[in-house]
């Protein structure tokens, strides 16, 4: 009976310890993001906000252009994510393809404009953050972190 209590206590301790470590990592990333945002000028912050709004608008515009058949493809749970993507791309009209291409070109231009406003120090900070992401061995871990960050931003 004592061994069961000890094992239970050890497992509980490990779970609490791991959750604390994860919480600390999230807090550290959040702090790094705040520092990065603090180092931007007001014009750069405004430009980032405008980019976010442009992305939202582009998504809404594209979603509005989807037909009922295309929406059905997206909601089809019998298909894998890759199969849904392939089927959806195959169903795009010429206008939708042009819309996506135009949005892609606009985003490249906006990114380049933002990048041109960055100082050497700001570029160095961004590179250091990106190097931290490149050191992650498991791509799924990185995607999970991105998904979690987006979820926190929406809530």
Nearest to 37 by CA among 29, 108, 133, 131: 29
Share of the chain above pLDDT 90, in %: 6
pLDDT tens column, 139-151? 566 677 777 877 7
Q: Are 62 and 71 in contact (CB under 8 A)?
A: no
pLDDT at residue 13 above 70?
A: no
pLDDT at residue 73 above 80?
A: yes
Helix spans in the chain (H) = 2-38, 42-65, 68-75, 81-90, 94-117, 120-134, 139-154
Identify the pLDDT of residue 43: 84
Rounded-to-integer distance, Cα 116 and Cα 124, Å: 14
Rounded-to-integer distance, Cα 148 and Cα 27, Å: 13
Give me the helix-helix angle, 42-65 and 94-117, nearest 10°: 170
> Contacts by 35-38 with C-beta closer than 8 Å and gap 24+?
35/125, 36/125, 36/126, 36/129
- Both tokens of 33, joined, read 């993001």
Identify the pLDDT of residue 130: 73
pLDDT tens column, 1-12? 667 767 776 676
pLDDT tens column, 75-114? 888 888 889 889 989 999 999 899 889 989 988 988 888 8
Rounded-to-integer distance, Cα 105 and Cα 85, Å: 21
């Amino acid at each position: 009976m004592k061994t069961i209590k000890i094992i239970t206590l050890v497992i509980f301790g490990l779970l609490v310890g791991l959750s604390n470590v994860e919480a600390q990592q999230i807090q550290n990333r959040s702090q790094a993001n705040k520092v990065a945002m603090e180092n931007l000028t007001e014009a750069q912050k405004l430009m980032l906000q405008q980019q976010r709004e442009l992305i939202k608008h582009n998504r809404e515009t594209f979603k509005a252009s989807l037909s009922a058949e295309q929406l059905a493809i997206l909601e089809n749970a019998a298909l894998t994510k890759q199969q849904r993507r392939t089927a959806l791309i195959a169903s795009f009209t010429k206008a939708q393809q042009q819309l996506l291409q135009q949005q892609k070109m606009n985003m490249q231009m906006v990114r380049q404009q933002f990048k041109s406003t960055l100082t050497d120090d700001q570029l160095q900070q961004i590179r250091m953050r990106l190097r931290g992401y490149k050191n992650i061995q498991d791509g799924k871990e990185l995607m999970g972190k991105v998904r979690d960050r987006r979820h926190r931003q929406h809530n």
